[in-house]
Structure 1
Amino acid sequence: YMGAGMEQNVMDLEGKRVLPVNFGPLRDADGNAWVTGPCGDTVEMWLQVVDGDIEDAAATSDGCEHSITASCMVASMVIGMPVAMAGGLSEQDVLSVLSDYPESSRHCVTLSLEVLRKALEDHALRIARRWQRTVAREPVPVLPDGVQHERRTLMVMSGKGGVGKSTVAVNLAVSLAREGLRVGLVDVDIHGPSIPTMLNLTKTTVYSGDGGIVPVVLEDLYGLEVMSLGFLLQNPDDPVVWRGPLKNSLIEQFLKDVQWGDLDYLVVDCPPGTGDEPLSVAQQLENKAEAVLVTTPQEVSTVDVARSINFARKLNLPILGIVENMSGFICQHCHHQTDIFRTGGGRMLAQRFGVPFLGAIPLDPAIGLAGDAGQPFVQRFNGSPISETYRTIARAVRSTRSELL
């Protein structure tokens, strides 16, 4: 192991801060945890596990160089270890490979080992949920004869890609689920299925039962049920090179042949634009869907969303409202909001077309970190201002009943 070399990675000969190679988030992690220690430092760790062995590990710390050194060293030491052995790593094991580590900073090693054990616990929970295909639910209320359970279907749409549509779809679905509702999330963005990454489900396999495809049920996300094209790809980097009829057939299968059960809401992460795929989604839902439109503040995005509004109206698709994403930037250090782009584009668009404005979500680096770690922002940072904005959006959606229902 690197020992003193790791320390030198943090602070080079010129006194500049140089981070270790395994400092930073690890995409597609199988275990993740973070802890804020008594000293105020927050350490986070990610683990990738293959066949019971830790194949890769990474860590971050917002503390001093000794905290960074300890956390990254712990992550380095467990690479190649069986999961069953990694939890036995001791403080003395770590200190033995850290040359001249100050006694006053030993608490950094203790904190790093605590985070490691929590990441291992998280991995165990994920293994348990990966094979979970059913979830105990409250019984569906008994309705009068002739009255059927209503399921509302929300098409989360955008006029162009790159506006954070999938991020909004995931966090809206989780926000609805934590209100005690039965929620499904289906990813029909054929050319860019990102839901598996955002929910750490890239290694998940789905199965077919007597009644169709069985969705993945995430008990730790309030029983959220999930289905994505990404579950069917052998390699997440494989492109989907299909012509229109094949794509439309897959969309039909995902919307009609999945055993969703008695959902209150089905959130559909639609392909961007106003072409064949979103048209197919709307047609397969047989005019029973409602639209939530996502835009960024810039004019280049709002112009495209204006097309989506007209697209929805031509299909008689009720529009529940507009969400303005990336509305200002929140600094991680001072928490001040800066308007990198102009703001208010979504609200002005809503006023122009006479549709509700559901809310504005600012840019926050933590949103990207949460997505890379496979955890919805509203779960990981529950109680934060952005999480509360999503809660407000979810409640606004609940209170809006379209004429079709």
Structure 2
Amino acid sequence: MAAHGHGHHGHGGQMTPEQQKQMIEQDLRLAKNLGQIKHKIVVMSGKGGVGKSTVAANIAETLQKLGFKTGILDADIHGPNIPKMLGVDLYGEQFNEYQFKVFKEITESGMADKDFKNDEEKLAFIEAKKEEYKHSMFPVVAPSGLKVMSMAFLLDGIDRPIIWRGPQKTGAIKQLISDAHWGSLDYLIIDNPPGTGDEPLTVLQTIPDADAVIMVTTPNVVSQEDVLKCVKMVEMMNIKQIGLIENMAYYICPHCDEKLYIFGEGNGEAFAEEMEITYLGDLPIEEKVSDAPNNEGAISVIDPNDEVSKRFVEIVKDIQKEFIKE
């Protein structure tokens, strides 16, 4: 991925013919890519630290487990945690090698169906494939079959910060969406950066036909106030299908099974009602969940019988019932 965004135009805001051509080509790739995906769900939060990426990762893995072809796009430029959560850590050179391997497989399987008369024809076929996929980034496939694309793959290592201004970030997000070669999917889950700034706005503008936006909050007044701003932003973009998940709502005592409301009872349902959005339920705090990335995967995959894994199956079925029209 180029480090410059599409936000940089010629002098005085005028685009050169070459930049215009590149932008049109990107929009065409975007339309083609998104056209193969039946349903798109954006996961958002008003602030960081509420477990948004954990929720996004587990929704995606749950859909995959239920038999739907699913992809997850990690659109968080500064904190791309999804690969770590799913046990698909690939950085820089490893990701490039993976790209070459996938391209080679596609090309070789295409060649197997052809009857080449000579080496020139074979070379011409390979060149045509190179041209066809020159902008493509092939998502990494997790052990479950879930397809994953993230900014993290393009960095040399997990400790590399991205210090970019707005146009570079929005350009990079648009490129991640337009150039990830998803193929046909039933669901694409987009893990949006927190807040109401440039990056989450870019995602919503680039995917205007999202089936639903799922807000993640915690039982905390500050967190809820920030979600309120997010809801208002999404409504301003004419997206009506909004759901709320209250994460870290309670803790179940391992000794007596009592529900303890560590952060106070959040009344997520009343909060959702007040905002006139759909309440999708709450999730407990659980050590197994926070420890899951250390075990190379999301809780839904590592322990399907865990209380949280079962809650995610219920939440996914509610999302389908409330927002997905087949």
**What TM-score, normalized by structure 1, do the two folds share?**
0.60
- Structure 2 vs 1, CA of residues 296 and 186 (structure 1 numbering), >3 Å: closer, same or farther? same
Q: Distance in 2 between matches of 1:338 and 1:401?
A: 31
Alignment of 1:270 with 2:192, yes or no, is yes
8 A Cα contact 1:291 1:319, kept in partner? yes
Aligned length: 255
- Structure 2 vs 1, CA of residues 385 and 332 (structure 1 numbering), >3 Å: closer, same or farther? same
C-alpha RMSD over aligned residues: 1.9
Q: What is the SS of the residue equivalent to 1:327?
A: coil
8 A Cα contact 2:36 2:183, kept in partner? no
Compute the displacement of 1:154 (Å).
0.7
Identity %: 38
- Counterpart for residue 5 of structure 1: none
8 A Cα contact 1:177 1:224, kept in partner? yes
Q: Deviations over 1:28-67 (max 9, x none)?
A: xxxxxxxxxxxxxxxxxxxxxxxxxxxxxxxxxxxxxxxx
Q: Distance in 2 between matches of 1:288 and 1:338?
A: 36
8 A Cα contact 1:244 1:276, kept in partner? yes
Q: What is the SS of the residue equivalent to 1:213?
A: coil
Q: What is the SS of the residue equivalent to 2:212?
A: strand
8 A Cα contact 1:320 1:400, kept in partner? no
- Structure 2 vs 1, CA of residues 234 and 332 (structure 1 numbering), >3 Å: closer, same or farther? farther
- Counterpart for residue 14 of structure 1: none
Compute the displacement of 1:387 (Å).
1.1
- Counterpart for residue 369 of structure 1: 291
> Is 193-202 or 270-279 further displaced after alignment?
193-202
> Is 357-366 or 281-290 further displaced after alignment?
281-290
Alignment of 1:6-405 (within 5 A): 151-204=38-91, 205-206=94-95, 207=99, 209=103, 210-211=132-133, 212-218=136-142, 220-221=143-144, 223-401=145-323
Q: Deviations over 1:258-279 (max 9, x none)?
A: 1101111100010000111000
Compute the displacement of 1:331 (Å).
3.0
8 A Cα contact 1:318 1:402, kept in partner? no
> Which structure ranks higher in relative contact order (CA pairs < 8 Å, sequence separation ≥ 6)?
2
- Structure 2 vs 1, CA of residues 383 and 251 (structure 1 numbering), >3 Å: closer, same or farther? same
Q: What is the SS of the residue equivalent to 2:56?
A: helix
Q: What is the SS of the residue equivalent to 2:57?
A: helix
Structure 1 stretches of at least 4 aligned residues deviating more than 6 Å after TM superposition: none
8 A Cα contact 1:299 1:345, kept in partner? no
Q: Deviations over 1:225-253 (max 9, x none)?
A: 00111111102111110011111111011
Unmatched segments (≥5 aa) in structure 2: 1-34, 104-131
Structure of greater Rg: 1
Compute the displacement of 1:332 (Å).
3.7
2:54 counterpart letter in structure 1: T
8 A Cα contact 2:43 2:189, kept in partner? yes
Q: Distance in 1 between matches of 2:86 and 2:51?
A: 15
Q: Distance in 1 between matches of 2:225 and 2:78?
A: 23
Q: What is the SS of the residue equivalent to 2:248?
A: strand
8 A Cα contact 2:40 2:211, kept in partner? yes
More strand by share: 1
Q: Distance in 2 between matches of 1:195 and 1:224?
A: 12
8 A Cα contact 2:212 2:323, kept in partner? no
Q: What is the SS of the residue equivalent to 1:268?
A: strand
Q: Distance in 1 between matches of 2:324 and 2:187?
A: 14
8 A Cα contact 1:287 1:316, kept in partner? no
8 A Cα contact 2:41 2:210, kept in partner? no
8 A Cα contact 1:312 1:319, kept in partner? no
1:195 counterpart letter in structure 2: I
Compute the displacement of 1:313 (Å).
0.2
- Structure 2 vs 1, CA of residues 159 and 336 (structure 1 numbering), >3 Å: closer, same or farther? same
Q: Distance in 1 between matches of 2:153 and 2:287?
A: 27
Compute the displacement of 1:347 (Å).
1.4
Q: Distance in 1 between matches of 2:59 and 2:298?
A: 10
More helix by share: 2
- Structure 2 vs 1, CA of residues 337 and 371 (structure 1 numbering), >3 Å: closer, same or farther? farther
